[in-house]
Structure 1
């Protein structure tokens, strides 16, 4: 109890809060720039720009200003990521999921599972360090940088998140141009192209940017399939947390009961995410509230992703660029192939 009171007292110190202000204000400014950039180039999603701007800032500043900004950037990347993921639940309604039918939902679940497993095996084979294989698998199989943030929070491995975030952002951005170009050869109709985009592109904004050029039918199909993938964020995060707890217990072998904080069995932000999904599904939420929640979610995730981008060491990334890019391209191929399989089985 004494330790907890001391911890609370330390958190309440004004100086502690002041250390966060420069980084959070800088991140908010970069998010504003990202929104402006998206208005100028609608094809590039806001969250993608947030990661890029954060990485540019983190790698161009001198040591002293970077040190001053780091506490706020790190705090935003952790805590605001959780809040943004909670609000992400307001984008999902169970009625939209059920419109696909049990066959569609089951096939999407299989695509997510196959994408996660395939991406994880590719990353492990190429010896990506630490928890990067799990985080990369989460990003490619579910919803890009948001899923990486959720999984890193569930597993307590935020230090390994920056490189997977950079890789999934790169491939998701390339998908906006590559998938429509590939469809000139595949010749999928609007509905099937939309389903392929929804099953194989990472971030929600990237899905919209990729599908909208093919028509309303493609866009609607892509968004519904993508939102079902996003729904898989909850069970995957819980499984990731359980795996981390078992790994930590095995590492300590029961001999160090107080060593480190074990990840919660079900992270609180996952419960909040599911609560928002259920609230949206009731139909009681006014459109104005849903619009405000969507805007708030984009801002919170934007600040968090600026923070994650700020932590990306481009020199380190380039030093391992061969393995990292090979893992990303291999993972992208796995997910795209499984997405085409989903389209074929839904026909």
Structure 2
């Protein structure tokens, strides 16, 4: 895939292309003040959090507007319409990775295992079917479409579990290109956003009650932010059901990432035993990323100690701020040029994966709800 074209500054000189997934991007020499290396992340992180704060303020003024979704959209608009100086690249990379992972850890505080158990065995089977069937089915379809393995794995996990957060978790355990990550996130944003008007339309056409509509939103939609947006459109009774089902899918992120990491490590070992090169990277990704350990620990804390409403509200605000900053940074990597260069196959895979997850969720809810 061709590399992104370099941007130009006000004087017409070239600057490095901005890619939040490329943490070693630096400001070229002679292009304005250069911060010390240890502070190079400050401009990009400050920009990301400023946008997230503005989006949260907008959400408070207009509750129907989802802050995290706004950040994704603003990031995509900025990445396609504005020439962002390379000075911001290190901080955008930090927001897209480290800040995102902090947000995922804090998300664990909202994942009470008791709430998930309260869904009942039937709905839990539906959740497992959506995640397992979505991943395996997407991988099979992607193979038929001849989509590269890394790309179809990122699409499969992102669409079946929790969107960009799942992409970020899995990409740390496999050999992939930055373009694969950016393209997968672009597809998550595209098809997940299309679900926001589609789910309420389906609920009406199928004469589903609001609670079942919430279950469908949580079971079939890619991003947590998109789930909340759909639940808000359906009504207050739908939001709680949607979020709990979605968090049940999020809970499966850890075992999926561990399984992927184990499979990749086993594959590297097999290649090495055969005398080949196990990987291009000098540092092997961990089988269990540290932030997933933190996520699970936070979930156990939420289950055992039942944090007060005030603590949960604070955690939710910090999590929204972190995820908003991360989604803005990730959104910048969602370029129209990336979608153009993808070709039709990943787009078709994204569509079919969305349809697959939706059909599994609809079928399961019809059987158990």
- Common fold: TM-score over 0.5: yes
On the 8 A contact 2:183/2:342 being kept in 1, the answer is no
**Structure 1: gaps (5+ residues):** 1-13
Query: How far apart are residue 36 of structure 1 and its match?
Result: 4.1
- 1:170 equivalent to 2:190? Answer yes
Partner of 1:199: 219
**Structure 2: gaps (5+ residues):** 1-34
Structure (1/2) with the larger helix percentage: 1
Instruction: For residue 285 of structure 1, give the secondary structure of its aligned residue in structure 2.
Output: coil
Match of 2:75 among 38, 54, 66: 54
State the aligned residue count.
Answer: 332
Partner of 1:76: 95
Partner of 2:335: 313
**Mapped partners of 1:275, 1:245: distance in 2:** 24
On the 8 A contact 1:148/1:165 being kept in 2, the answer is yes
Aligned runs of 1:1-347 on 2, under 5 Å? 15-39=36-60, 42-62=63-83, 65-129=84-148, 131-155=150-174, 157=176, 159=178, 160-253=180-273, 260-320=282-342, 322-347=344-369
Q: Deviations over 1:211-247 (max 9, x none)?
A: 2333343333222211211111111111122222233
**Mapped partners of 2:232, 2:326: distance in 1:** 27
**Mapped partners of 1:276, 1:217: distance in 2:** 26
Query: How far apart are residue 92 of structure 1 and its match?
Result: 0.7
Instruction: For residue 261 of structure 1, give the secondary structure of its aligned residue in structure 2.
Output: coil
**Mapped partners of 2:169, 2:290: distance in 1:** 11
Structure 1 pair 209/69, CA: closer, same or farther in 2 (3 Å)? Answer: same
Query: How far apart are residue 23 of structure 1 and its match?
Result: 1.3
On the 8 A contact 2:109/2:299 being kept in 1, the answer is yes
Instruction: For residue 326 of structure 2, give the secondary structure of its aligned residue in structure 1.
Output: helix
On the 8 A contact 1:179/1:210 being kept in 2, the answer is yes
**Mapped partners of 1:252, 1:311: distance in 2:** 34
**Mapped partners of 2:232, 2:50: distance in 1:** 29
On the 8 A contact 1:81/1:150 being kept in 2, the answer is no
Structure 1 pair 133/15, CA: closer, same or farther in 2 (3 Å)? Answer: same
Query: How far apart are residue 37 of structure 1 and its match?
Result: 4.5
Alignment TM-score, normalising by the size of structure 2? 0.82
Structure 1 pair 298/94, CA: closer, same or farther in 2 (3 Å)? Answer: same
Query: How far apart are residue 50 of structure 1 and its match?
Result: 1.9
Instruction: For residue 163 of structure 2, give the secondary structure of its aligned residue in structure 1.
Output: helix
Q: Deviations over 1:291-338 (max 9, x none)?
A: 221111112222222222222332132233533332221111101100
Query: How far apart are residue 120 of structure 1 and its match?
Result: 2.5
**Mapped partners of 2:129, 2:291: distance in 1:** 25
**Mapped partners of 2:174, 2:109: distance in 1:** 24
**Mapped partners of 2:277, 2:50: distance in 1:** 44
Moved more, 206-215 or 17-26: 206-215
**Mapped partners of 1:183, 1:72: distance in 2:** 41
Partner of 1:3: none
**Mapped partners of 2:299, 2:97: distance in 1:** 22
**Mapped partners of 2:252, 2:164: distance in 1:** 15
Structure 1 pair 329/284, CA: closer, same or farther in 2 (3 Å)? Answer: closer
Alignment TM-score, normalising by the size of structure 1? 0.87
**Mapped partners of 2:315, 2:213: distance in 1:** 29
